Amino acid sequence: MEPHFSRRDLFKLGAAVGAFGGIATIPGMASAAGPIVKPLPPELFTVFGTNAEMRWPAMRDQGHLVPIDRFFVRNHTSTPIIDAQTWTLEVTGAGLRGGPVTFTYDQLRALPAHTVVEKVECAGNGRSYFTSQQGQPVSGTAWHLGAVGVARWRGVRLSAVLRRAGISPDAVDVMPVGLDPDYVTGGVNLGPVRRPIPVRKALDDVLLAYEMNGEPLPPDHGHPVRVIVPGWIGIASIKWVGRIEVSDQPLTSPWNTQFYRLFGESYPAEGLPFDEQVVKSAFELDENAALPVGRRTSLTGRSWSAHGPIRKVEVSTDAGASWHRARPLGGDRAWQRWQYDWRPAATGPAELRARATDVHGNTQPETTVHNTLGYLFDAVVRHPVQVT
């Protein structure tokens, strides 16, 4: 389902044909140099085709936010380079009282600004553990736990834009549409990346962001403007938004009919749709990291839930036999940082686990019910280390 070539192969391909997979020719847009524009040094990222996962050890000395230089990138095709000054946002559809309304970048920036600290997390984050921990086949990018990031986003509320565009009381769904190249898979052109949001959510806490961590939104994260949908799977947060369809009928796209549904033996044949993320935890440590025997090691990590702040984090250093409370290091509803000091007594392989519970009692199970596309892996992850 996703391309299985390396970034190097893509560069070769780019050099050979001079452009990447049908970059759209819209005004003010030039070809990107590769599927991802920013540098992807191996100490910060693991690259999977057009996607790059953050390596968790890269967060060990960082504060609450993930810096842009290590924030994961999930591209269905490639990062377009869009000029903010010629870019426009068109709001259109039968869910408006009048005709289409167009906003320029400067008009958006003149509206009241709103800032939030929110995470973006791919629905498939942790997918590889379905196979490595549960022995189950899944398709899609084999993410570990690094397809998540927290940033400070500044922009305008989608509700303010929709009201200015004259949203009608009959509006049902709102669908942001990306300006990146059409997504072609299995020989079928599925069109631009897009996914509907019900009006109730769209008018609640959705943001049209033009800044990330105090900087203009970088190309890979949606320059000049992206959607941020708090608590929802990453695909809802459409990057490089150029059009928003407001409909008086329910809308669908391949991203809520074909993908981002739970399929498999435990689910209905038509698949179970879902929008929200789950609870997860990660150590800020390499898998198979070497830890010194008899010396105190400070194990650090982060836990997060789509539904609210984390209430407690427990750590096991003996493969789940005993659990100990981790010390909270601060956090908010985006995620919680924590620490646990461990003095390994014996050399050899050991297995760390972390398990979080949010304020509503949502916690991480031993196993996640299998779904064929490998979404929403929330089980406790087994983190191997070597005590030397």
Site for Mo ion in 65-104 (CB under 5 A): 74
Please tell me whether residue 108 binds Mo ion under the rule CB under 5 A: no
Binding mask 353-382 for ligand MTE (x = CB under 6 A): ------------------------------
Min CB(240)–ligand MTE separation in Å: 5
| 14 vs 149, beta carbon nearer ligand MTE | 149
Q: Tokens in use for 174?
A: 């709102």
Please tell me whether residue 180 binds ligand MTE under the rule CB under 6 A: yes
Rg of the chain taking only CA atoms, in angstroms:
21
Instruction: Give which of 303, 342, 302, 339 is closest to 322, Cα–Cα.
Output: 342
Taken in order 136, 142, 145, 148, the sign of the CA dihedral is: negative
Strand intervals (E) in 122-268: 148-157, 173-178, 184-185, 188-189, 197-198, 207-212, 215-216, 226-228, 241-247, 261-262
Q: Please pick, from the candidates 45, 48, 72, 283, the single residue that binds ligand MTE as defined by CB under 6 A.
A: 72
Binding mask 234-253 for Mo ion (x = CB under 5 A): xx------------------
Task: Give the angle subtended at the CA of 15 by the CAs of 12 and 19, to the nearest 5°.
Answer: 115
Identify the burial level of 190 via C-beta atoms within 10 angstroms of its C-beta, where 0-12 means exposed, 13-18 middle and 19 or more buried: middle
Min CB(118)–ligand MTE separation in Å: 12
Rounded distance, CA 210 to CA 195, Å? 20
Which span sits near ligand MTE by CB under 6 A: 5-13, 74-82, 110-118, 378-386? 74-82
Q: Please pick, from the candidates 91, 120, 175, 310, the single residue that binds ligand MTE as defined by CB under 6 A.
A: 120
Please tell me whether residue 235 binds ligand MTE under the rule CB under 6 A: yes
Give the phi and the psi of residue 258 in degrees, each rounded to 5: -95, -40
Q: Please pick, from the candidates 14, 178, 196, 331, the single residue that binds ligand MTE as defined by CB under 6 A.
A: 178
β-partners of residue 327 are 339
* Footprint on this chain of Mo ion (rule: CB under 5 A): 74, 122, 234-235
* Footprint on this chain of ligand MTE (rule: CB under 6 A): 71-76, 120, 122, 149, 178, 180, 193, 221, 234-235, 237-240
